[in-house]
Structure 1
């Protein structure tokens, strides 16, 4: 099927394909800073088009579902960490400035390479629209934080890198998983952080057209000697998983301050009020996916209304 046919069939006349070409990106985005990162909020019209592209193109391009657990329905961070829970040593790092490090050419080349595998789409027709598709999902030739299409794109563009890291892991009796920009490797025996860093850096930079960098400040080896806390998940010595005490404490202190003293809430969060609310909302949504029982406890303690508003990302608190 041609892309316009899929569009018309999906929206059943409620949206016009003309909007795909007439919509001006600058009129439908708003830039803001969050945690010292450039982010974007988008209009409902642009979101509709990006979600359409994600559903029918980006989410149908191959990625390593056995390794990557971010931005997927039915799986969450627990599924990412679970394979490592019985290993003695865990290597954890992340890719610095992940989304904006994903460039226009990498996205374009991966779509050209893989779109032919989407059986219901006319490949030649997608190529006709490719430049416009890329215009609608990038800013300044980069993948933006806040676009509805960015998560799905980030999964498939990393396919080759995920395969290479997994190959390295298997050759060294290690387990590899990834959650967005977070890279996790683990094994039974002691791990050499420097040698793993070098190997991962080499893999991340194998394609000189799109360079990624590790965040050295967040690179560490985690052992059973101390509480193993990864991505807000605590791994007990016997391998059980739960939300970390640290994350629970942070969430509850912030909710208390938000209800009782917004000045203290802003000061404790170390960001402006709206950014602090969105940050707390993100942590609650994360906790909901990991431990719904804990969220129910918060509902009883602080009230359904504020917890629901936060989880739904409403700023009118």
Structure 2
């Protein structure tokens, strides 16, 4: 049923979709980009024809899956700002994150999700399920680069979010998750250190996804006496979120070195400027004063926005 709906919706034969699904792992271009924190991030970018099928699945199937309110990324009406605002007035903050988040979510996790949420897959047969799993994964796992990975990860982490929120609420702790970053805040000293082991236990007991692992080396505690950061946003002692000097310096340096940036770097810069200006409109005026209107306009334009649609 799903394959026929996709074929009719896109206007291609079912056999084309089946063949592409069977060979989907070979339909990616792999490259690396530098992380802000240092090191390299591997991107697996799907081919144009595979991405078209993934986008159809995203719009017609995956976006129907429920997302927990504690998940603040990859969903309409949710944002980095909202994620930070939830924790802004609390005195203490704990940040934890996962090791290799997307690749830790497997085809087996997706199949388990299908089997336990049959209301979203009515009329599907085993061929539909196999094609779905193959089209949204590479070599059996989710990838950074596929447009379906963020929404799928949110859906499959619903139980994680529900269990962590319930666990935290019993201790007066506020919990949110932004992609692979977990944030916990509280007003009582020592509360957040007490919940760490509980978080590790809940993650280890999950049925879906089964292979998530907390990167304990990146666990961070902070308080109002120091600097509290939530997904790049500084939480001020005034109980309000601020973009902070570090991000402003990064943007200025990137504009200064704009000619040396690749397309991924220019995309990132455009997003950072839009994000920063959303918090602090006066920052845009300071950039224009320093670099000129023409240079700032160029820096705010994403190269990826230039790509036109081509047939499969």
Normalised by the length of structure 1, the TM-score is: 0.82
Change in 2 beyond 3 A, CA 1:162/1:236: same
* Distance apart, 1:279 and its partner CA: 4.4
- 1:20 maps to 2:8: no
Change in 2 beyond 3 A, CA 1:149/1:286: farther
Identify the residue that residue 147 of structure 1 maps to in structure 2: 146
- 1:245 maps to 2:249: no
Does the aligned pair in 2 maintain the 1:234–1:242 contact within 8 Å?
A: yes
Of 252, 266, 272, which aligns to 1:283?
A: 272
Aligned 1:1-317 pairs, distance under 5 A = 2-4=1-3, 6-7=5-6, 10-11=9-10, 13=11, 15-23=12-20, 24-35=23-34, 36-64=40-68, 66-116=69-119, 118=120, 123-125=122-124, 127-191=126-190, 194-207=193-206, 210-259=210-259, 262=260, 273=262, 276-281=265-270, 283-284=272-273, 286-287=275-276, 290-291=278-279, 293=281, 296-297=284-285, 298=287, 301=291, 302-309=295-302, 312=305
Change in 2 beyond 3 A, CA 1:27/1:92: closer
Does the aligned pair in 2 maintain the 1:68–1:155 contact within 8 Å?
A: yes
Q: Deviations over 1:225-279 (max 9, x none)?
A: 12322211122212122222211111211121224xx3xx6xxxxxxx5654454
How many residue pairs were aligned?
A: 294
Change in 2 beyond 3 A, CA 1:285/1:126: farther
Query: Which piece of structure 1 moves more, 189-198 or 293-302?
Result: 293-302
Q: Which runs of 5 or more structure 1 residues have no equivalent in the other structure?
A: 266-272
Whole-angstrom distance in 1 between the partners of 2:274 and 2:205: 35
Does the aligned pair in 2 maintain the 1:61–1:114 contact within 8 Å?
A: no
Whole-angstrom distance in 2 between the partners of 1:192 and 1:286: 32
* Distance apart, 1:189 and its partner CA: 0.6
CA RMSD of aligned residues (A): 2.7
Does the aligned pair in 2 maintain the 1:281–1:310 contact within 8 Å?
A: no
SS in 2 for 1:214: coil
